[in-house]
Structure 1
């Protein structure tokens, strides 16, 4: 009986000693699970925060697009103005064109005054070729003066453009057939004396005036008189 009591006492003692250890292990496991759960929840919240996207302000986007379009249009307008200004001849260019036009016109007039009295066919063809080159060069001078004069020179410019082919065709015909010199010179002078020569002076003065320069363009006497 005594031995049974001893055994029972030892069993109770063993259970009592093991209880704190079990409680400690249970507490550790519970804390680990709580920490794991907290970490998982924290990561999930972090991911949700990262994925969040700021709302797009469509009104602001439209406003920016309108502003950019307006600025682009403004820049294009500025380019056009710059181009227009760049195409306007300078005063120096106008003065050079006036001088060049006058020189070419004098060369053609001298040829027309001499051709009817010439008899050598080779000399006639050569003189006509020289006059043709001068008449052709007049067009580059005319273009400069027309650009400078603007509407003030439109009427005189139109007369020159319309009648210049008559002069060129006549001179070319003389080169090919020197015997036709008198007929072609008469045709040339009919158009040139009345339409081209006065218009050269008028267009030149209009261009000079547009540049603020004195209207000192030469007047050209008619040929064949």
Structure 2
């Protein structure tokens, strides 16, 4: 089974060593960075699914690292390690959609709960992406489908077949639209809108024939 990649960022070497052992023990492939700049380089090279970073560090702090990570790969789960008195940084982190916050000193039980939450979000997103891909494939097939060779059908049977095909396209298009709305994914909306427009125009033609 492929290990999930995790990038651990903390300017304190002792904390990096202790957390690295704990993270490897629960099955993560861990990459270590001592500051935000080094972390960003590793992030671009290794593309970890999860980033676990201290919120307050010299130079590029955890909030700035979070902002850049989310800008480059929005699906990355970023867990922030915070200390007492970091509330202003916590508020900023919320703006950039941090996954979870863990207060130092780190409790392994709490850390594992945060990682479990991140893993669930990753798994849920993968399932949604797979479902969207399936819907897009089904929609493309329905829009470009070709009838198998058969004896010339009557006018009535041709209309019945086309209505059935249009009904399938309509169902798939509406499912795709629901999924896009749920995901906040407007990129696919023009394609879905065009498909719906074609379906309704064709239905109007069939209604006039009837």
Q: Would the TM-score normalized by the shorter structure come out above 0.5?
A: no
Say which structure is richer in strand.
Answer: 2
- Could you state the TM-score of these two structures normalised by the residue count of structure 1? 0.26
- Could you state the TM-score of these two structures normalised by the residue count of structure 2? 0.27
Say which structure is richer in helix.
Answer: 1
Larger RCO, structures 1/2 (Cα 8 Å, 6+ apart): 1
